[in-house]
Structures are given as structure tokens and as C-alpha cells.
Amino acid sequence: MKRDLLIFQGAMILFVAAMLTLAGNYIYKKEMLRSRMGYITELQRQLAHSFEVKIQSVDDTLKILAETSEIKECLYTGDKETKIYREQAVRDIFDAYEKIHSDYLNMILVYGDGENYISNDMYRPVHESFYGEDWFLQAIKDGSSYRFDSGLRNLQSWKHYDSDSYISIARSVQEGDKTLGVLMVDVSVGEFKEAYQNLETDTENFFFLMDDGGEIILSPVNRIVYRVDPKWFRGDEGVVVSSIGDKNYKFVFNRFRDKKLLIVGAYDVEEESKIPLRMTRISIFMAGVCFVAAMIWSVCYLLEITKPLTELSDLMQSASEGNLDVRFTRESKEDIRILGNAFNKMVEKLKTLMEMMKLEQKQKREAELLVMQEQIKPHFLYNTLDMIAWMARKHGAGDIVHLIETMSEFFRISLSKGKEMIPLKEELKMIQAYLEIQSMRYKDLFSYEIFCSPDIRDELVLRMCLQPLVENCLYHGIKESDNPHAKIMISAESVRGGICIQIRDNGCEMEETILEQLNSCLKANDWENWKGGFGVKNVGRRLWHSFAKGSGLHYSKDENGYTVATLLILKEEE
């Protein structure tokens, strides 16, 4: 069986691994290049969009600054004191914006004369007019337009940033048709350089950004990007395959920012063609590793299952031969542990049942012998009582005759030929005889009443289920009370599903703690914590085991101060 399972599992694992490998390679070869191209294109679009959002944000900031009164007032000539005040206001504005925008590296405002300027971060190494700077001339020439540039210029930063770590964006400050000056901001592109680096790592290719003049703005450092000819990229977007050195590269490009910027993704065609082959080799290798690992796991798992099952089978064989002391003790998986626990419970129950059967057989033999020995006792008792009653009647002792006849009736019903269940009317008749005898004994101590609904008089109840309770009322309630009107009342009525018998007495009241403790034990069938008398305990246990669920004994107090013992006897539903 073990060998067959191993062969079957090995064949299934090998088949699944082979099918997954073939299907994976087919799908990969068919979809890889198309998906990869789409992935690269989407990355380019996201990067272009992010760059455009960045430029637009700076452009909007410069537009707002160019319209502020502080900037324009500073560019107007004035007396020296006013000029100093206005320049400080501009410097404060620059400080505030640089604190808000951490990517604003440098900010400068150049007057329209091209000589004077205001900046917190920059200085002019050579004292020459800014009219010799391309960015300045372009901003004045285009009016409200702008351009960005990161090339050489006659400006240095006190913070010494690398020239390729930022781009410069400029905008003229206009008052109608008159150019008052030019604002410029150096914006960090560190986050975009990091993004390019991440893209290069993720895709094993590279991306670069150039302007409409063919100048490289952002790119990774390699020997390929600066050998790219801008003339290759015609139109707004497309795919171009060109040779650089001894390799062919595929370039995916698209223009943005009013066609002034171009983002290009490039990848090695030869390397891309090797990817499916590498994937095939990797898939075969992984399939082999998975097959070996799966087989090792299958063998271990099979042994882990079969060993406890074999042990459990041996234990069952031993139990079937009569050895009920065997137990399954091995630590195993949950399902097998459940089987083992079930086996242990089954053997335990079988052992208990066998012991109970032996005990019952022994008790049955002892009971049969006891019945045979006791058969002569009731007849001897009745004959003796009849003889005493005849002698008392002969001497005119009527009260003794009544007592003897009542006692004879009590014993006749209480014995009931050994029957466990008797009609309710017989049980009440016996209780009446018992109370009559006690009334003769304790004259004027108490009175009693017995009521029974006619429709339940023939219902079967447990023999001697009321006498212990009535006796409890008499000895613990009536006798311990100084109530001159002590009374015991017994009522039996029909209820839904059975009958209800209540025994009331107005003798000494039961303490609440005792009442609660008795009811708790009676309700839960808990006799280990029982603190009451044996008679009440015996009645409670017999009711619990002899009738339907919900039957039992309960103690309470009514509105008149009577202590009430309630017997609820429910029938099993048919």
C-alpha cells in the first residue's frame, strides 16, 4: 500500500510539474514581450506625467511671485532706504518659499537692466551683465513664457550643488508690455534621478529625458545614452530600433510638455530575446527541485500518517481479543489524534460497560435472593397487626384498633409488593395514613389537608416520593415552630405535560441560604455538595432519573409565608 501510494503521488507530481512548466513557458513566450513593452510604456508615461506636474507647479509658483506687489515694487527704482527695505521683503519671500518647498534649491530675481539681482543663495562669479545669459534673454524675449536649463551659466550657489542635480526655470516679471525683471528657481531633480535608477534596476533597461533641442536633461550614467541621435525620434510617440556599436536597441519614446520634452526608454534586443530561454531553463530547474522536494515531503508525510494508523490498527486488534487496557498515546496530526481519542473513549466505555454488566449481574442475583428471603415478612407483619387489632377490639380499645388499621394500611401501600411506580391516589392514601398516625401521636400539634384533581388520580408516581417530604415538614417545620395553627397542605394538579404536587407548611421558615443551596443542587443533580437530609436527596435523585427532562423537586416560599416543596413530574413526549 505504501509503495502504491508513493508511485501514484510521484506520477501525479511529475505530471503537474511538467504541465505547469510547458504551459508557463508557452504563456510567457507569447505574452512576455507585449506585457513588458506595455509595462515600460506605462512607466514612461507615469514619469513624464510626474515631471510635467513638477514643472507646472514651479511655473505656477513663478507666475504668482511675478504678480506679487513686493516683487514689482522692488524692481521699481526708489531711494536707497526704500530699496533696502523692498529687497529685504523679497529675500523674506524667497526664504518662506524655500522652507515650504524643500526642492527649491536656489531663487533669484534679476532687475530688467541685467546688472542688479537679489538672491539668498546665489552669487555672480564674473561681473558681467545677465544679458549674456541664455536663460535671461529667453525669458525677456518670450515675455510671459519660460524655459528651463541646467547648462553653464554665470551663477554659483553657496550650497555647491552639482549641475546635474537640478533644472532652472525662469519667468519674466511684466508690467503691461514692459519687462521689469526675471525670476528664476533652481529645482531639485533628485527624486526623478532616483526614479530613473529604480526603473533601470526593475526593468534591466534605461530611460532618459531630452529637450526639443536634443540636449540630455536626465539620464543614467552609461556609454549608450550620449550616442543616441535625436533625429531618430520623429513624431509624438513611437518605437525605433537602431544600432549603437555592435548591439541593437529598441527605443520607445513619447513627447510631452507641448512637445518640448521627450522621454525615451531603451532596451537591448538581444538580451530581451534571451529572457524566454532563461525562463525555460529556470522553469525546468525549479520543476525538478519541486519534484524532488515534493517526493521527499510525500514520503515523510506518508510515513507520518501510516505509522500511527498501523499502531492504531494493532491496538484495535488487541482490543478485539479482549484486552481493554490498551490506549493510543502517540502524538500525531489532528485527524489521526481524533481517531485515537475516539478509540480510547470507545475502549474506556467498553471496559466500563463490562464492569457495569458484571456488577448488575451480581446485584441481580443478590436481589433475587433478598426477595425470596423477604417474601414471608409482609405476611407475618400483616398477621401480627391483625391479631393486635383483634385483641384491642376484644378489650374495647377502639383508638388502638384505629391506629393499628391505619398503620396496616400505611405499610400495605408503602410495600406495594415491591413496585417502584404506583397510582397517585395510592401514594396520597398512604400519606393520609401517615399523617393520621402522626396526628394521634402529636394531638393538637397540627392539622392537614389533602387535595387531588380527579383527572390525575390514576397517574403513576414514584412510590414513597411524598412521605420523606411530609416527614421533613413535620419534624423540621411544625415541631420547631410555636405556631398554634400549624398546618400541612398537600395539593396535586394537572399541568401541561404532566402533574404538579405541592406540599406546604407554615411551621419554622427555612433560611434563604439553605433554600438556595438546596435548589442549586436539586437543579444541577449535584449531590457532592448536598447539605440536606437523605430523604429529600433520595426523592430528588429518583425524580431526576425516572421522568422526562425538566422533572424535579424545588423549594420556595409563597406569599402567606408557607414553605413550599414542589414536585414536577413530566411525561416523555411520544
The domain spans of the chain are 67-188, 324-358, 445-570
Give the pLDDT score at 274.
65
CATH class label, 445-570: alpha beta
Q: What is the pLDDT of residues 230-282, one digit of tens each?
A: 888 888 888 888 888 788 888 888 888 777 788 888 877 776 666 666 667 77
Cβ atoms within 10 Å, residue 392: 18
The pLDDT of residue 265: 81
Share of residues in the chain with pLDDT > 70 (%): 75
The pLDDT > 90 percentage for the chain reads 8
**What phi and psi values does residue 513 have, to the nearest 5 degrees?**
-65, -40
Residue 3 has pLDDT above 70, yes or no: no
CA 538 – CA 555 distance, rounded (Å): 15
On the question of pLDDT at 406 being above 80, the answer is: no
Residue 450: what pLDDT? 92
Task: Give the contacts of 520 (CB within 8 A, at least 6 positions apart).
Answer: 526, 529
Instruction: Please state which of the ranges 21-35, 240-254, 459-473 shows the lowest mean pLDDT.
Output: 21-35
- pLDDT(24) > 70: no
Dihedral angle of Cα 124, 127, 128, 130, to the nearest 10 degrees: 30
Topology alike, domains 67-188 and 445-570: no
Q: How far is 419 from 403, CA to CA, in rounded Å?
A: 25
Residue 377: pLDDT over 60: no
Superfamily of domain 67-188: PAS domain (3.30.450.20)
Q: What is the pTM of this model?
A: 0.42
Using CA of residue 60, residue 61, residue 63, residue 64, what is the dihedral sign?
A: positive
C-alpha cell at 494: 394537572
Cβ-based neighbours of 479, under 8 Å, separated by 6 or more:
442, 445, 507
Band the pLDDT of 497: cuts 50, 70, 90. confident
The whole-chain average pLDDT of the chain stands at 78
Q: Which of 286-300, 416-430, 440-454, 507-521 has the lowest mean pLDDT?
A: 286-300
Q: Higher pLDDT residue, 212 or 389?
A: 212
Which of 165-170's residues contact partners 24+ apart within 8 Å by CB, and which partners?
A: 165/105, 165/189, 165/190, 165/193, 166/105, 166/106, 167/217, 168/135, 169/55, 169/58, 169/59, 169/62, 170/62, 170/135, 170/136, 170/138, 170/139, 170/146
202-211: average pLDDT: 69
Confidence (pLDDT) at 340 = 76
Query: How would residue 564 be classed by pLDDT, with cut points 50, 70 and 90?
Result: very high
CB-based contact 563:507 (threshold 8 Å): yes
User: Looking up cell 478485539, which residue turns up?
Assistant: 320
Reported confidence tier of residue 390, pLDDT bands at 50, 70, 90: low
Query: What integer pLDDT is reported at residue 383 of this predicted model?
Result: 57
Cross-strand bridge partners of residue 42: none
**pLDDT tens track for 49-101:** 888 888 888 888 988 998 898 888 888 867 777 888 888 988 999 899 988 98
**What is the edge-to-edge ordering of all strands in the sheet holding 237-244?**
216-218, 206-211, 261-268, 247-256, 237-244
pLDDT at 120 over 80: yes
Structure-model confidence comparison of residues 65 and 18, the more confident one:
65
> What is the crossing angle of helices 376-394 and 398-415, to 10°?
170
